[in-house]
Structure 1
C-alpha cells in the first residue's frame, strides 16, 4: 500500500514548561554566593543566570583558586558555564594580551562558546568585542587582521588552527594563564589534536591553569592528567547514569533500510517537535536524507557535514540556533557540545559507528533539564551489534519503539502503519 506524505504540515507545539530534571538541580546555591565579582553577578542575572547547576556549584569555587581541574558531567548540564564564569571573573580589562584560551575540536563548538561568552559577559569590562574565534576555514590574513582589531582577551580556537598560528609566530600566548579543553576526551584520544594541545600548552605562561571538561573519559585522559597537569582536582557530576534524566530512548528495529525513511515521515507527522536533529553516518547520506525531508515536509530544514565551506557551516549553525530552521540533518560533526535547548527530538537514522558517539548524539536533546526524545533506527546485524554495545555501555537498554505512538511521551495519538514491523 502506498502512502503519500505530501508536504506534511508540522505545527509548532507549545513551549515545554514542565519541571526540569535533577541533572541541573543543585543545592540551590546562587551565583551571588560563589565569591564572584559583583559586576559579573549582575551580568549573569541580566541573562537569567541565577542559580548554579551541580557542575557549576562544584567547579567555580575550585577554579577561582587557579588550580588544575578535571571535570566530568553529563552533556547539557552547564559545563560551559562552569569554566566560562571563572574565566570572566579573572579577566582584567587593562591587560592587552590574551588572558584565557579555550580549545575545542570543531568550528561549530567554538562559535557557540564564543556566543555564550559574549552573552554571559555582556556587562563585564574587557569582554565585549574582545572575544575571538580562531578556527579552520578562514584565511590567515583575515584572522591576523581580526586579532589586531579586537585585541582579544578570550580566544576560542580549534587545536590545529591555534597550533599553526603559534608555530608561525602569528600569535603570542606567553602571558596567557588559563587553558580550557572542552570535549577534552575527543581531543586527547586522537594523536594529532593531542600533539596540538601539548604544543599550545608549551607556548603558554609557565604557571598557567589547565581545566579539562567532558562527559566521558577514557584511559588516555587519565594518562594526560598524570603527565601534563599539576595536582589536578577531580570533579565528577556524572552520577551512575550516563544519559540525561530527561531523555526517553527508543530503538526501532526496521526490517529493511529503505523503510527507515517511511518510519521517519510517520514519526514526524505525529511527534510534537520543536526542533529535531537527524544523525547519519556519511556526507552522501546527509544530503540524500535532507533532500527527502525537504521534499516531504512543509518545514524549514537544513543539513551540515564536514565538506561544507566554513561560510556554509556557519550559516547553517546560525539559522538552526536562531530557530529559523527546525530540522537539521547532520553527520557526527554535531555530536558534541552543540547546545540548542529547543531541540527536543534526536533521530539516529543510522546507528552511530561507536557507542560513545551515541551518548553524545542523544545529548543534543533534553539539555539543561528539559525533556527530550531519542529514537534510533536499527536495521541489519551490524547495527544490531552496535546497539547491543550501546546498551551494555549505558547499562540500561533502549526501549523498543511501541507501534502505538500514544505511549510515547509528547506525541499525538496515532498508530504506526502496519507495513512497519518491529
Structure 2
C-alpha cells in the first residue's frame, strides 16, 4: 500500500472510531416489516413511544410528503423537509422544529445531511439508508447533549438487511430487533 493510501486508511479508521462513540449513545433497533405495512407500523410506534422529538428519514420527497399528511395532527404536529421547498422555507422549518412547534420532522434523503437538531431523542429510518455513511449521518442527529437516543430502522427487503449488517460490522454496534416494549 502506498504512503498516501496508508494515510487515507488511517484517517478512515480514526473517523470510524469517533463515529463509534457517536453511535454508542444510541440504542439501535430494526423492525422487520413488509413495505406495505410500514405506515401503520410507524403510526403504532409514534403512538406507543415516549419522546421529545422525532426525525423520520425517507428515500424521497414524495414519501416524506405522504407521511407528513398522514402524521400531522393537533395532537402530534409534524413538518416535512424536502427539496421541493426553498432554502428559506427549510430554515424556517428548522427554526420552528427547534422551538417545538412540531414534534416530528420528516426529512427526504436529498436534504438530510443538513439536519442538525439538538434535542431529538428518536430517529427512524422509514426507508433504510443506501449505505453505512448515510446511516451515520441520519443517526448522528439523535442523543446529543446527554440525551439518550433511540435509532430505529425499518427493514423490508434483503438489501435493507445487508445495509443493517454492514453498519453493525463497520461500526461494531449491535442492532437488535425492536422489543415489544422499550424502557423509556
TM-score when scaled to structure 1?
0.39
Mapping 1:253-332, distance limit 5 Å: 253-254=32-33, 256-294=34-72, 298-332=75-109
Runs of 4+ in 1 over 6 A off after TM superposition: none
Alignment of 1:140-159 (within 5 A): none
The structural deviation recorded for 1:267 is 1.0
Unaligned runs of 5+ in 1: 1-218, 226-234, 411-422
After TM superposition, list the pairs within 5 Å mapping 1:340-355 onto structure 2.
340-355=117-132
CA change 1:392–1:291 in 2 (3 A) is same
For the aligned residue pairs, the C-alpha RMSD in angstroms reads 2.5
**TM-superposed deviation, 1:337:** 6.0
The one-character-per-residue Cα deviations of 1:211-250 (angstroms, maximum 9, x if unpaired) are xxxxxxxx7x949x9xxxxxxxxx9794583534321110
Match in the other structure for 2:29: 250
- TM-aligned CA deviation for residue 335 of structure 1: 3.4
C-alpha distance in 2 between matches for 1:386 and 1:293: 27
Check conservation: 1:251, 1:399, Cα contact below 8 A: yes
Q: Provide, for residues 102-135 of structure 1, a one-character-per-residue CA deviation record: whole Å limited to 9, x for no partner.
A: xxxxxxxxxxxxxxxxxxxxxxxxxxxxxxxxxx
CA distance in 2, matches of 1:236, 1:377: 26
1:124 corresponds to: none
- Give me the whole-angstrom Cα distance separating, in 1, the residues matched to 2:135 and 2:22: 10
Structure 2 segments unaligned to the other structure (5+ residues):
none
- How far the C-alpha of 1:299 sits from its partner, in A, is 1.5
**C-alpha distance in 1 between matches for 2:70 and 2:115:** 27
Change (3 A) 1:397 1:318: same
Alignment of 1:72-221 (within 5 A): none
**Do the aligned residues in 1 keep the contact of 2:29 with 2:153 (CA within 8 Å)?**
yes
| Deviations, residues 21-45 of structure 1 (Å, cap 9, x unaligned) | xxxxxxxxxxxxxxxxxxxxxxxxx
